């Protein structure tokens, strides 16, 4: 839409709100944090282990010391979240609603269980992200066996991840 238009429509109203002069010279709408988008390998922040998943072992684990065999994920946009797709299989990462099981790349289509909010982890260096599963609003943690599990009550419980461009 390039001009104001003549009618009172929702589009016109949104255009007016988004483009009007703000009397205090500050933006009316701020930019919100965005999920990293693109193709990535994931590296856990404290152990520096890389995340693995494959067609033979669909559960996500942070157990690799080298990125050579690390899983590659495609992170794509969904409003206020993203979906993670394992590129080697085309399957989407899913998070169990109970938070009792590891994240796994086993879904052919993405629904609510396959949505994640990925944001800069509070208190961590720049580029370290926490992952919140939309399925149960719990953060992804790392179990003692290296499994990625969505069972962290607060962000401080969550594991931090580098999203390394692939």
pLDDT of residue 33: 74
Low-confidence ranges of the chain (pLDDT < 50): 1
Does residue 112 lie within any of the structural domains? yes
In a domain, 70, yes or no: yes
Q: Work out how many domains the chain is built from and give that number.
A: 1
CATH of the domain at 126: 2.80.10.50
What is the model's pLDDT at position 1? Answer: 46
Give per-residue pLDDT as tens, 125-137. 999 999 999 999 9
At 158, phi and psi to the nearest 5? -75, 155
Q: Give dist(CA 63, CA 102) in Å, integer.
A: 13
* Residue 106 in domain: yes
pLDDT given for residue 64 in this prediction: 98
pLDDT value at position 40?
A: 98
Asked if the structure places residue 31 within a domain, the reply is no
- CB of 113 within 8 A of CB of 135? yes
Determine, yes or no, domain membership for 50.
yes
Indicate the pTM of the whole model: 0.82
Who contacts 66 (Cβ-Cβ below 8 Å, separation ≥6)? 50
Whole domain around residue 133: which residue ranges?
38-165
Give residue 34's pLDDT.
83
**pLDDT, position 16:** 67
pLDDT at residue number 7: 57
pLDDT for the residue 81: 92
Task: Give the per-residue pLDDT at 80.
Answer: 84
């Amino acid at each position: 839409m390039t001009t104001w238009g003549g009618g009172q429509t929702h589009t016109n109203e949104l255009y007016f709100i988004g483009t009007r002069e703000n009397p205090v010279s500050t933006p009316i709408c701020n930019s919100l944090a965005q999920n990293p988008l693109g193709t990535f390998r994931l590296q856990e922040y404290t152990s520096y282990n890389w995340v693995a998943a494959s067609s033979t072992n669909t559960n996500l684990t942070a157990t690799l010391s080298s990125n050579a065999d690390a899983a590659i994920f495609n992170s794509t946009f969904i409003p206020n979240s993203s979906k993670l797709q394992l590129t080697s299989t085309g399957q989407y990462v899913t998070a169990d609603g109970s938070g009792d099981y590891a994240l796994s790349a086993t879904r052919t289509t993405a629904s609510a269980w396959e949505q994640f909010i990925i944001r800069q982890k509070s208190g961590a260096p720049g580029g370290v992200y926490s992952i919140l599963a939309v399925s149960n609003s719990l953060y992804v943690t790392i179990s003692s066996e290296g499994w990625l599990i969505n069972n962290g009550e607060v962000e401080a419980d969550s594991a931090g991840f580098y999203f390394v461009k692939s």
